[in-house]
Amino acid sequence: MSPVRSPSGSPPNSYVRRLRVILIGALALALSVACSTSANSPGAAGGGADASTVTIVTPDTSIVWALDNGFGGYEPGKNLQATLLRKPYIDAKQGAGVQQQDVYKYEPYLASGYDVSPDGRTYTFHLSDAKSAVGNTLSADDVLWTYQRRFHTSTSVIPGVMAPSLTDPATQIKKIDAKTVSFTLPQAGLGTTFLALMSDLCGEIYDSTLLKQHVTADDPYAVKWSAQNPNFGYGPYTVTDYQPGVSAVLTARTDFILGPLAVKKINIRIVPDPGTRANAVKNGDAQIAEAVNPADSAALASDPSVVAPKVDNPNTFIMMPLVTNKAPFNNVAVRQAMAYAVPYSQIVDNVYRGLAKRNGPGFLLNDAPGYSNAGFPNYTYDPAKAKAMLAQAGFPDGVSFALAVSAAEPDMQEAAVQIQTAAKAAGFTVNINKMPAAQFAQQRVDHSSQSFILRDYAITLTPPYELLVYTGPGSTNNFADWQYPPFYDALAAGNKLPNALSPEAGKMWNAAEAIYLNQSPIVFIAQVQPSVLVSKSVAGYAWTSDNWIDYKNLRPAAG
Amino acid sequence: MTVLLQIPPAPSAPAARRRLPPGVLSLALVPAALLVLVALVGPLVLPYSPVDVVDKPDLLPGAAHWFGTDASGMDVFSRTVAATRTNLLIGLATTVVATAVGVLIGLVVGMNEAHRGPLGLLARGTSRALDLLQALPAIVIGLVLIAFFGASVPSLILALSLILMPNQARLVRAEVLRVRGEAYLDAARMSGESELVLVLRHVLPNSAWPAWENTSLVFGSAIVLTAGLGFLGVGLPPPAPEWGSMIAIGAPDAASGRWWSALFPAIALALTVFAASAVGRRLFGDD
Amino acid sequence: MAGLWAHHGWWIRRLAMLPVHLVLFAVIVFFLVKLIPGDPVAVLSGGQTMTPEQYQAARAALGLSGSLPAQLGTFLGRTATLDLGNSVISGTGVLSEMLTRLPETVELAVLAMVVSLVLTLVLGFLVMLRPRALVSRTVASYSRAAGALPDFCLGVAGIFLFYSVLRWAPAPIGRYDPLLNAPTHTTGFPFLDALLSGDAVLMRSMLAHLWLPVGVLVVAYAPMLIKLFIRSLQQARDAQATTFRIASGASRSMVLLSITRRALPATVAMFGTIFGFMVGGAVVVEQLFAIPGMGEYAVQAVTRSDFVALRGFLLVVGFLSLLVFFFVDVVTMLLDPRRRSGAAVTGG
pLDDT tens profile A71-89? 678 899 999 999 999 999 9
Q: Computed from CA positions of residues A298, A304, A310, A316, in that sequence, does the dihedral angle turn out positive or negative?
A: negative
Q: Which helix (H) or strand (E) holds A183?
A: strand A180-184
pLDDT(B27) > 80? no
Minimum-distance CB partner of C348 among B7, B132, B141? B7
Phi, psi of A399 (to 5 degrees): -135, 140
| Residue among A341, A340, A334 nearest A395 (CA) | A334
Q: Which pLDDT belongs to residue C283? A: 80
Q: A150-164, A208-222, A246-260: lowest mean pLDDT where?
A: A150-164
Answer yes or no: are the C-beta atoms of A371 and A510 closer than 8 Å: yes
Q: Which pLDDT belongs to residue C346? A: 38
Q: At CB < 8 A and 24+ separation, what contacts does C58-61 make?
A: C58/A154, C58/A155, C61/A154, C61/A155
pLDDT(B284) > 80? no
ipTM surpassing 0.85: no
Answer yes or no: are the C-beta atoms of C275 and C267 closer than 8 Å: no
Minimum-distance CB partner of A421 among B53, B234, B249? B53
Judge if the upstream peptide bond of residue A328 is cis by omega within 30 degrees of 0. Answer: yes
pLDDT(B11) > 50? no
CA distances from A121 to A180, A467, A498, C195 (A): 16, 21, 9, 64
Judge if the upstream peptide bond of residue B239 is cis by omega within 30 degrees of 0. Answer: yes
Average pLDDT over residues A167-181: 94
Answer yes or no: are the C-beta atoms of B182 and B200 closer than 8 Å: no
Distance (Å, whole) CA B101 – CA B78: 35
Q: Which amino acid is at C230?
A: I
Q: Which pLDDT belongs to residue A134? A: 94
Average pLDDT over residues B148-165: 89
Q: Which pLDDT belongs to residue C344? A: 39
Distance (Å, whole) CA A165 – CA A143: 16
Q: In what order do the strands lie in the sheet with A89-91?
A: A89-91, A99-101, A542-543
Cβ neighbourhood burial of A42 (10 Å; 0-12, 13-18, 19+): exposed
Stretches in chain C below the pLDDT threshold 50:
341-348
Residues 49-108 of C with CB under 8 A from A: 49-50, 54, 57-58, 61, 89-92, 97, 100-101
Q: A319-323, B50-54, C61-65, C81-85: lowest mean pLDDT where?
A: C61-65
Average pLDDT over residues A339-357: 93
A160 touches chain C (CB under 8 A): yes
Distance (Å, whole) CA A210 – CA A205: 12
Distance (Å, whole) CA A452 – CA A406: 9
User: Touching A: which chains, 3+ CB pairs < 8 A?
Assistant: B, C
Angle at which helices C240-247 and C252-281 cross, to 10°: 150
B178 touches chain C (CB under 8 A): no
Helices (H) and strands (E) in chain C, counts: 14, 0
Cα radius of gyration (chain A): 27
Distance (Å, whole) CA B44 – CA B38: 10
Cβ neighbourhood burial of A191 (10 Å; 0-12, 13-18, 19+): buried
Q: Which pLDDT belongs to residue C232? A: 84
pLDDT band at A308 (very low <50, low <70, confident <90, very high): very high
Cα radius of gyration (chain C): 24
Q: A117-131, A180-194, B238-252: lowest mean pLDDT where?
A: B238-252
Which of chain A's residues have a Cβ under 8 Å away from the Cβ of C287?
Answer: 272-273
pLDDT(A30) > 50? no
Distance (Å, whole) CA B164 – CA B145: 13
- Looking at the whole model, is its pTM more than 0.90? no
C9 touches chain A (CB under 8 A): no
Q: In what order do the strands lie in the sheet with A247-252?
A: A237-243, A247-252, A265-270, A53-58, A288-289, A533-535, A306-307
pLDDT band at B89 (very low <50, low <70, confident <90, very high): very high
pLDDT(A35) > 60? no
pLDDT band at B3 (very low <50, low <70, confident <90, very high): very low
Answer yes or no: are the C-beta atoms of B41 and C189 closer than 8 Å: no
Q: How far is CA C34 from the centre of its chain?
A: 24
Across chain A, mean pLDDT equals 87
Q: Do B129 and C24 touch (CB under 8 A)?
A: yes
B182 touches chain A (CB under 8 A): no
Per-residue pLDDT of A238-281, as tens digits, reads 999 888 778 899 999 999 999 999 999 999 998 888 888 888 89
Q: At CB < 8 A and 24+ separation, what contacts does B31-38 make?
A: B31/B271, B31/B274, B31/B275, B31/B278, B32/B275, B32/B276, B32/B278, B32/B279, B34/B275, B35/B84, B35/B88, B35/B271, B35/B272, B35/B275, B36/B88, B38/B81, B38/B84
pLDDT(A487) > 90? yes
B224 touches chain C (CB under 8 A): yes
Distance (Å, whole) CA B254 – CA B115: 58
pLDDT(A5) > 70? no
Q: What DSSP letter does each residue of A192-224 carry, written as one string?
A: HHHHHHHHSGGGB-B-HHHHHTT--SS-TT-HH
Answer yes or no: are the C-beta atoms of A329 and A401 closer than 8 Å: yes
pLDDT band at B16 (very low <50, low <70, confident <90, very high): very low
Q: A328-337, B266-275, C243-252: lowest mean pLDDT where?
A: C243-252
Answer yes or no: are the C-beta atoms of C273 and B167 closer than 8 Å: no
Nearest C-alpha of chain C: how many angstroms from A102?
A: 26
Distance (Å, whole) CA A164 – CA A185: 9
Q: How far is CA B102 from the centre of its chain?
A: 13
Q: Which pLDDT belongs to residue A178? A: 94
Size of interface A-C (CB pairs under 8 A): 227
Q: A258-262, A382-386, B18-22, B55-59: lowest mean pLDDT where?
A: B18-22
Q: CA geometry: angle at A348 spanning A343 and A353, to 5°?
A: 140
Q: Which pLDDT belongs to residue A39? A: 57
Distance (Å, whole) CA C188 – CA C180: 17
Which of chain A's residues have a Cβ under 8 Å away from the Cβ of C43?
Answer: 71, 437-438, 441-442
Share of chain A above pLDDT 90, in %: 65
Q: Which helix (H) or strand (E) holds C212?
A: helix C200-238
Q: Do A424 and B52 touch (CB under 8 A)?
A: yes
Q: CA geometry: angle at A405 spanning C312 and B91, to 5°?
A: 70
Q: Which pLDDT belongs to residue A14? A: 46
Q: Which pLDDT belongs to residue A210? A: 96
Q: A66-75, A530-539, C22-31: lowest mean pLDDT where?
A: A66-75
Per-residue pLDDT of B60-86, as tens digits, reads 898 889 999 988 889 999 999 999 999
Residues 151-180 of C with CB under 8 A from A: 159, 163-164, 167, 170-174, 177-180
Number of neighbouring beta carbons within 10 Å of residue C247: 8
Size of interface A-B (CB pairs under 8 A): 75
Phi, psi of C38 (to 5 degrees): 95, 150
Q: Which pLDDT belongs to residue B1? A: 38
C4's CB contacts (< 8 A; 6+ apart) are none
Distance (Å, whole) CA A312 – CA A357: 10
Number of neighbouring beta carbons within 10 Å of residue C100: 16
Q: Which pLDDT belongs to residue C242? A: 79
C260 touches chain A (CB under 8 A): no
Answer yes or no: are the C-beta atoms of A303 and A345 closer than 8 Å: no
Q: Do A269 and C8 touch (CB under 8 A)?
A: no
Q: Do B144 and C343 touch (CB under 8 A)?
A: no
Q: Which helix (H) or strand (E) holds A42?
A: none
Cβ neighbourhood burial of C211 (10 Å; 0-12, 13-18, 19+): middle
